[in-house]
Amino acid sequence: MPKPASKRDQDVELDAESSDLERLVGYNLKRAYVTVHAEFTRAVGKDDMSGRVFSALSLTVQFPNITQSELARMMGIERSGLVAMVDELEGNGFLKRAAVPGDRRVQALVPTEAGKKAYAIALADVEANEKELFSHMPKDEIETLLRLLKKVRHARTSE
Which stretches of the chain bind DNA, using CB under 7 A?
30, 34, 50-52, 67-70, 76-84, 86-87, 97, 102-108
What does the CA dihedral 28, 26, 147, 119 come to, rounded to 10 degrees?
-80
Tell me the DSSP string of 82-128. Answer: HHHHHHHHHHTTSEEEEE-TT-TT-EEEEE-HHHHHHHHHHHHHHHH
- In 3-state terms, what secondary structure has residue 66? strand
Distance between CA 41 and CA 47 in Å, rounded? 10
Site for a copy of itself in 76-115 (CB under 8 A): 76, 100, 106, 108
Supply the Cα-derived Rg of the chain in whole angstroms: 21
1 binds, among a copy of itself, DNA, none (CB under 5 to 8 A by kind): none
Beta carbon of residue 12, minimum distance to a copy of itself (angstroms, whole number): 5
Q: Which is nearer to DNA, 20 or 140 (CB)?
A: 20
Beta carbon of residue 34, minimum distance to a copy of itself (angstroms, whole number): 6
68 binds, among a copy of itself, DNA, none (CB under 5 to 8 A by kind): DNA
Q: Which is nearer to DNA, 50 or 129 (CB)?
A: 50
